[in-house]
């Protein structure tokens, strides 16, 4: 976790430069940051320190924030109700995307793309770029001390990862969507499964 939205800049650049993608009528691509990550965590610092959020954050909160953004036409000027939207999420964000798909949206997702942690094609982006982006967006200053800390606090990151709220609902929704066959779902997993995740967690869909 602790992935600020700029983490995916290189991925989007590679994706949008692909010849198969450039032939598609893509109007724009939006990254919706988890409210307790990156620059969003700085803007929401007071809110996140309130009792109802201190030590509490889960996939539902991220989905609710994304839904609010999609409905905020008066703020950003984009009418997502007139768009054919494709939802793309990575790692823990996939649970929030599945939950978001079940909420009332300006326009339902045309399809969903779920991606595991291996995002970047080999040789397309250097780790130096990712480190520089993390220093710029993944850290925040501690007052005027000159010291820095993670933009998403250790407490918020811990509770988000360990909190099971929403995971059961998103898993059931995922299985339901697969059974219905109405919404195309594209699932990408790493060829080099260093953590043996696929052998540890296999989903059987009857």
Query: How confident is the model over 29-58, as a mean pLDDT?
Result: 84
In a domain, 71, yes or no: yes
* pLDDT over 60 (residue 132): yes
In a domain, 54, yes or no: yes
* pLDDT over 60 (residue 157): yes
Question: How large a percentage of the chain has pLDDT more than 70?
Answer: 75
Report the DSSP pairing between strands 109-115 and 185-188.
Answer: parallel
In a domain, 81, yes or no: yes
- Greater pLDDT, 155 or 67: 67
- Of the chain, the end-to-end C-alpha distance in Å amounts to 32
Query: Looking at residue 67, what is its pLDDT?
Result: 95
Query: Looking at residue 167, what is its pLDDT?
Result: 63
What's the token pair of residue 21? 């993608």
In a domain, 198, yes or no: no
In a domain, 203, yes or no: no
In a domain, 26, yes or no: no
* pLDDT over 80 (residue 121): no
Confidence of residue 16 (pLDDT cuts 50, 70, 90): confident
- Greater pLDDT, 129 or 124: 129
Query: How confident is the model over 65-73, as a mean pLDDT?
Result: 93
In a domain, 177, yes or no: yes
SS (H, E, C) the chain: CCCCHHHHHHHHHHHHHCHHHHCCCCCCCCCCCCCCCHHHHHHCHHHHCCCCCCCCCCHHHHHHHHHHHHHCHHHHCCCHHHCCEEEEEECCHHHHHHHHHCCCCCCCEEEEEEECCCCCCCCCCCHHHHHHHHHHHCEEECCCCCCEEECCCHHHHHHHHHCCCCHHHHHHHHHHHHHHCCCCEEEECCCCCCCCHHHHCCCCCC
Residue of 31, 28, 3 whose CA lies nearest to 16: 28
- Taking a C-beta distance cutoff of 8 angstroms, is the pair 139, 39 a contact? no
* pLDDT over 60 (residue 172): yes
In a domain, 64, yes or no: yes
* pLDDT over 70 (residue 125): no
Structural domain of residue 102, as residue ranges?
5-21+44-190
Confidence of residue 124 (pLDDT cuts 50, 70, 90): very low
Query: Looking at residue 160, what is its pLDDT?
Result: 67
* pLDDT over 80 (residue 169): no
Query: How confident is the model over 82-89, as a mean pLDDT?
Result: 91
For tokens 């993670």, the residue is: 150
* pLDDT over 80 (residue 195): no
Query: How confident is the model over 119-134, as a mean pLDDT?
Result: 55
């Amino acid at each position: 976790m602790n992935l600020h939205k700029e983490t995916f800049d290189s991925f989007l650049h590679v994706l949008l430069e692909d010849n198969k993608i450039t032939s598609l009528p893509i109007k724009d691509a939006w990254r919706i940051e988890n409210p307790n990550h990156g620059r969003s965590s700085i803007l929401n610092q007071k809110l996140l320190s309130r009792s109802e959020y201190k030590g509490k954050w889960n996939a539902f909160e991220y989905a609710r924030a994304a839904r609010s953004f999609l409905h905020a036409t008066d703020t950003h000027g984009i009418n997502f109700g007139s768009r054919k939207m494709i939802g793309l999420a990575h790692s823990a964000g996939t649970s929030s995307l599945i939950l978001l798909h079940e909420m009332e949206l300006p326009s339902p997702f045309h399809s969903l793309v779920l991606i595991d942690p291996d995002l970047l094609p080999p040789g397309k982006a250097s780790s130096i770029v990712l480190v520089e982006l993390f220093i710029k967006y993944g850290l925040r200053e501690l007052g005027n001390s000159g010291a820095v800390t993670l933009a998403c606090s250790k407490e918020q990151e811990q509770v988000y990862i360990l909190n099971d709220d929403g995971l059961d609902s998103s898993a059931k929704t995922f299985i339901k969507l697969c059974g219905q066959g109405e919404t195309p779902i594209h699932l990408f997993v790493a060829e080099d499964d260093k953590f043996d995740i696929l052998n540890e967690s296999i989903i059987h869909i009857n």
